[in-house]
């Protein structure tokens, strides 16, 4: 079984040294969230993840969730762990105190999300969708529904799901067939089938609150006729107690490549009672509140799995002997494989990507809080635009690189990495879903180039580039050589952005073919931007902790020399166009 130590030092470094966003620091509600408090939270989070949740990863893989006589049973130990998990209040960490939450910012909860992803993604998924459901209900439901459902979701006694996909439609939700018929009492009766529903049924909570998109019987076809409904597994009585079973049943659970401890269900809705959330025929707008936040969290899943893969690869490289290096340190026998240049390259590749991603995620968490809570509407909107721009990048780049890192981890382990004994191949299998669910990474790339670079608020990508330029222009000293290197790739991104926006007007196939390349170029440059911020702090505070900051500086140097050049490679590939692709004849 892989070992895991939560990277608290790096997380606290970000919280203490990179919390220099003025708009974020203007938020009154978080001024009492001190470094001491955050450190206490992270240390307690590390304990439950390392001691209780980490062992569940192997258990869930070897004893998957099963459907037995109509009941979904989670793997051994999940019930007991979940009970401890909610007793300690982890489901309530970032929720509003009005409903029993602790009110921590996403700059803190994102660190906890990463720890959970490292420890056991299957276990994490049972509570993760609950937080998504909480956010959606909190933003779009009536006060009556909020007061009735949110306290139990926050407490963890009830869980939540997101029910979109059907056999006839995946990403193209306009094709959905689930129907909702209005009743005389204002409720709706829903009938249809949903598939691939994460945590769609299980035995961990006393009720499951499904958020279901469906079409009212008098609504138009296509996406314009979709509404959002809250459909509980058990009807909730007026006094808040759990009542009779609703018309929701589990048809089957999927047998999957990874995340086997998580129940991925086919759900059948047969005249199930539902309550409309938000406005009629505006269901996708409401559901996207849940989906967009969930996409960022999926990116964090890729980051978390990358971290545990790196930690175990590093430990193995320090104890495994194989061959001799040019500057061998062994008089007889072999050298430790960490002495080999290629192994060191793989490890530094992992480390530079992971720490850069974590810093970018911290910046995005700040922007998310500003977009939700800043008193100035214009500042809120700009932050919201930046979050919109970066959401597909974080979701896609972090998960794609998670595949690269877990693959490299298996390679470092050699034949042992391919066997189940070490648990490394499970990390690869568990991560494989992350580039697929919540919209495949190709869908994310298309969303980025066709919808996110600019919108009704103007050219977002240029405002993002202007933000970066305004920050780096005042940086000097030891950071300057890195800024000069970074500026070259910033110019590449700027030219690529102009090419993409102009091509979208004349040849959408060119843009479609270039979408994944563009997303990766934007992603690599954005991670480099985060490294620039880390470098500025590292040089400024160098004498406080020379060993820590030396490691940061040298890791950043690897990223700039060995990883960032990928951005230009993607640009050059993309601007070759799509004619060969579209004219190729497949036999």
Q: What is the pLDDT of residues 200-209, one digit of tens each?
A: 999 999 999 9
pLDDT at 189: 98
Nearest in space to 424 (alpha carbons), one of 26, 61, 7: 61
Does 292 have pLDDT greater than 90?
no
The DSSP H or E segment spanning 531 is: helix 508-540
**pLDDT band of 174, cuts 50, 70, 90:** confident
Buried b (16+ CB within 10 A) or exposed e, 175-213: ebebbbeeeeeeebbbbbbbbbbbbbbbebbebbbbbbb
- Per-residue pLDDT, averaged over 80-102, amounts to 97
**Residue of 155, 339, 425, 438 marked active site:** 438
Does 44 have pLDDT greater than 80?
yes
Does 153 have pLDDT greater than 80?
yes
pLDDT at 489: 98
Residue 65 corresponds to which tokens in the numbers above?
Answer: 């969730």
Specify whether 357 is catalytic: no
**pLDDT band of 171, cuts 50, 70, 90:** confident
- Per-residue pLDDT, averaged over 37-61, amounts to 98
Q: How far apart are the first and last CA of the chain?
A: 46
The answer to whether the CB of 422 falls within 8 A of the CB of 2 is yes
Does 64 have pLDDT greater than 80?
yes
- Per-residue pLDDT, averaged over 115-126, amounts to 98
Measured CA distances, 127 to 24, 37, 49, 240 (Å): 27, 23, 14, 21
pLDDT at 496: 97
pLDDT at 294: 86
Residue 501 corresponds to which tokens in the numbers above?
Answer: 């926006």
How far, in Å, CA of 158 to CA of 568, rounded? 48
How far, in Å, CA of 159 to CA of 152, rounded? 8
Share of the chain above pLDDT 90, in %: 89
Domains within the chain, CATH numbers bracketed: 8-143 (1.10.540.10), 158-287 (2.40.110.20), 289-321+331-574 (1.20.140.10)
Measured CA distances, 226 to 172, 218, 281, 282, 458 (Å): 12, 11, 5, 6, 28
pLDDT at 538: 97
**pLDDT band of 328, cuts 50, 70, 90:** confident
Burial class (CB in 10 A: 0-12, 13-18, 19+), 329: exposed
- Per-residue pLDDT, averaged over 103-113, amounts to 96
The answer to whether the CB of 21 falls within 8 A of the CB of 226 is no
Tally of residues, the chain? 587
The DSSP H or E segment spanning 528 is: helix 508-540
- Per-residue pLDDT, averaged over 2-7, amounts to 97
Does 61 have pLDDT greater than 80?
yes
**pLDDT band of 442, cuts 50, 70, 90:** very high
pLDDT at 338: 95
Rg of the chain in Å (alpha carbons) = 24
- Per-residue pLDDT, averaged over 218-230, amounts to 93
- Per-residue pLDDT, averaged over 253-265, amounts to 97
pLDDT at 391: 96
**Ramachandran assignment for 66, one of left (phi > 0), alpha (psi -120 to 50 degrees), beta (any other):** beta
SS3 159: strand
Does 284 have pLDDT greater than 90?
no
pLDDT at 286: 82
Q: How many CB atoms lie within 10 A of CB 378?
A: 9
Does 283 have pLDDT greater than 80?
yes
Nearest in space to 354 (alpha carbons), one of 388, 394, 304, 392: 304
pLDDT at 476: 82
Measured CA distances, 431 to 219, 400, 424, 445 (Å): 39, 9, 11, 19
pLDDT at 474: 85
**pLDDT band of 503, cuts 50, 70, 90:** very high
pLDDT at 172: 76
Instruction: Cite the DSSP H helix spans in 320-422.
Output: 341-373, 377-413, 415-418
Residue scoring higher pLDDT (294 or 483): 483
pLDDT at 235: 98
Residue scoring higher pLDDT (579 or 78): 78
Q: How many CB atoms lie within 10 A of CB 84?
A: 13
Q: How many CB atoms lie within 10 A of CB 154?
A: 27
Measured CA distances, 61 to 66, 117, 231, 547 (Å): 12, 15, 30, 39
Mean pLDDT, rounded, of the chain: 95
Q: What is the pLDDT of residues 547-586, one digit of tens each?
A: 999 999 999 999 999 999 999 999 999 999 999 999 999 9
How far, in Å, CA of 133 to CA of 97, rounded? 17
- Per-residue pLDDT, averaged over 153-158, amounts to 98
Does 175 have pLDDT greater than 90?
no
- Per-residue pLDDT, averaged over 325-346, amounts to 85
State the residue for tokens 């309530």: 92
pLDDT at 326: 76
């Amino acid at each position: 079984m892989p070992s895991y130590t939560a990277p608290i030092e790096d997380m606290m470094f970000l919280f203490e040294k990179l919390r220099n966003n003025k708009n974020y620091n203007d938020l009154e509600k978080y001024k009492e969230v001190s470094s001491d408090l955050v450190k206490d939270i992270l240390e307690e989070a590390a304990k439950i993840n390392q001691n209780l949740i980490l062992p569940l990863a192997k258990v869930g893989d070897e004893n998957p969730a099963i459907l037995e006589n109509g009941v979904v049973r989670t793997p051994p130990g999940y019930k007991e762990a979940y009970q401890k998990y909610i007793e300690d209040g982890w489901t309530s960490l970032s929720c509003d105190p009005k409903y029993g939450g602790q009110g921590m910012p996403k700059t803190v909860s994102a660190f906890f999300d990463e720890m959970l992803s490292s420890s056991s993604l299957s276990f994490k998924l049972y509570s993760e969708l609950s937080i998504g459901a909480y956010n959606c209900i909190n933003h779009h439901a009536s006060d009556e529904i909020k007061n009735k459902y949110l306290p139990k979701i926050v407490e963890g006694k009830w869980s939540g799901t997101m029910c979109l996909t059907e056999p006839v439609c995946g990403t193209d939700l306009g094709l959905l067939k689930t129907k909702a018929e209005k009743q005389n009492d204002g409720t709706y009766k829903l009938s249809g089938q949903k598939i691939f529903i994460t945590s769609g049924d299980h035995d961990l909570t006393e009720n499951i609150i499904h958020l279901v998109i469906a079409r009212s019987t008098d609504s138009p076809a296509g996406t314009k006729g979709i509404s959002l409904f809250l459909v509980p597994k058990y009807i909730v009585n007026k006094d808040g107690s759990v009542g009779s079973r609703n018309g929701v049943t589990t048809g089957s659970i999927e047998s999957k490549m990874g995340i086997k401890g998580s129940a991925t269900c086919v759900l059948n809705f047969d005249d199930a009672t539902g309550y409309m959330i938000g406005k009629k025929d505006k269901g996708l707008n409401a559901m996207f509140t849940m989906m967009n936040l969930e996409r960022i969290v999926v990116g964090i899943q890729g980051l978390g799995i990358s971290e545990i893969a790196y930690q175990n690869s590093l430990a193995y490289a320090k104890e495994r002997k194989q061959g001799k290096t040019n500057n061998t340190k062994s008089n007889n026998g072999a050298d430790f494989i960490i002495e080999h240049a290629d192994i060191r390259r793989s490890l530094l590749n992992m480390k530079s990507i992971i720490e850069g991603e974590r810093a970018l995620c911290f910046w995005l968490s700040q922007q998310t809080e500003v977009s939700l809570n800043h008193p100035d509407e214009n500042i809120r909107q700009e932050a919201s635009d930046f979050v919109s721009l970066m959401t597909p990048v974080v979701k896609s780049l972090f998960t794609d690189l998670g595949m690269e890192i877990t693959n490299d981890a298996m390679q470092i382990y050699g034949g042992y990495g391919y066997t189940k004994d070490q648990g490394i191949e499970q990390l690869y299998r568990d991560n494989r879903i992350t580039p697929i669910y919540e919209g495949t990474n190709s869908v994310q790339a298309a969303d980025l180039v066709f919808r996110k670079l600019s919108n009704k608020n103007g050219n977002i990508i240029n405002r993002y580039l202007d933000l970066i330029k305004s920050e780096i222009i005042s940086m000097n000293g030891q950071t300057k050589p890195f800024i000069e290197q970074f500026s070259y790739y910033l110019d590449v991104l700027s030219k690529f952005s102009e090419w993409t926006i102009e091509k979208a007007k004349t040849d959408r196939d060119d843009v479609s073919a270039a979408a994944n390349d563009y997303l990766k170029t934007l992603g690599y440059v954005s991670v480099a931007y985060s490294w620039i911020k880390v470098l500025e702090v590292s040089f400024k505070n160098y004498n406080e902790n020379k060993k820590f900051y030396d490691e940061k500086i040298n890791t950043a140097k690897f990223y700039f020399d060995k990883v960032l050049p990928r951005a230009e490679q993607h640009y050059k590939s993309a601007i070759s166009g799509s004619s060969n692709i579209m004219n190729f004849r497949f036999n």
